[in-house]
Structure 1
Amino acid sequence: MSESIEKQVDPARRGLLVATCAVGGVAGLATAGAFVSTFQPSERAKAAGAPVEIDISGIKPGEMQVYEWRGKPVWVLKRTPEQLATLKETASEVADPESLKPYTMDLPDYCKNAANNRGHAGHEANLVVVGICPHLGCSPSQKFTPGPQPSLPDNWDGGFLCPCHGSTFDLAGRVFKNKPAPNNLDVPRYMYLSDTKIVIGKDEKGDA
Structure 2
Amino acid sequence: MSDILLAPPCAPDAHRRQLTFATVGVGGAGIVAAAVPFVSSFSPSERAKALGAAVTVSIEGLPEERLMTVEWRGKPVWILRRSAAQQQRLQSPDLLNVLADPASLRREQQPDYAENPQRSIRPEIGVFVALCTHLGCIPAYRPDAGATDLRAGWPGGFFCPCHGSAFDLAGRVFRNVPAPSNLEVPPHRYVSDLAIEVGTDKNAN
Aligned to 2:147: 148
Question: What residue identity is the alignment partner of 2:131?
Answer: I
In 2, Cα distance between equivalents of 1:32 and 1:84: 58
Question: What residue identity is the alignment partner of 2:194?
Answer: T
SS at match of 1:202: coil
Encode CA deviations 1:41-63: one digit per residue, 9 max, x unaligned.
11111111121111111211110
The 5 A counterparts of 1:74-153 are 74-89=77-92, 90-102=95-107, 105-113=108-116, 116-120=117-121, 123-150=122-149, 152-153=150-151
Aligned to 2:43: 40
Question: What residue identity is the alignment partner of 2:133?
Answer: P
- Pairing partner for 2:32 from 14, 26, 29: 29
| Residue 157 (1) aligns with residue 162 (2) | no
Aligned to 1:8: 12
Aligned to 2:5: none
Displacement of 1:66 in angstroms is 0.6
The 5 A counterparts of 1:158-173 are 158-173=156-171
Aligned to 1:206: 204
Encode CA deviations 1:95-136: one digit per residue, 9 max, x unaligned.
10110025xx342222233xx11120xx21000011111111
Contiguous gaps of at least 5 residues in structure 1: 1-5
Question: What residue identity is the alignment partner of 2:23?
Answer: T
**Identity rate, percent:** 46
RMSD of Structure 2 on Structure 1 (CA): 1.9
Question: What residue identity is the alignment partner of 1:68?
Answer: E
- Pairing partner for 2:172 from 166, 171, 174: 174
In 1, Cα distance between equivalents of 2:202 and 2:164: 36
In 2, Cα distance between equivalents of 1:98 and 1:31: 56
Displacement of 1:175 in angstroms is 0.6
In 2, Cα distance between equivalents of 1:62 and 1:183: 24
Taking a change above 3 Å as real, the CA distance of residues 169 and 204 of structure 1, as seen in their structure-2 partners, is closer
SS at match of 2:91: helix
> TM-score, length-normalised on structure 1?
0.86
Displacement of 1:14 in angstroms is 5.6
SS at match of 1:206: coil
In 2, Cα distance between equivalents of 1:149 and 1:29: 67
In 2, Cα distance between equivalents of 1:25 and 1:154: 73
Question: What residue identity is the alignment partner of 1:61?
Answer: E
SS at match of 1:193: strand
Encode CA deviations 1:65-109: one digit per residue, 9 max, x unaligned.
01111111110000000111111221222110110025xx34222
In 1, Cα distance between equivalents of 2:82 and 2:197: 19
Question: What residue identity is the alignment partner of 2:196?
Answer: I
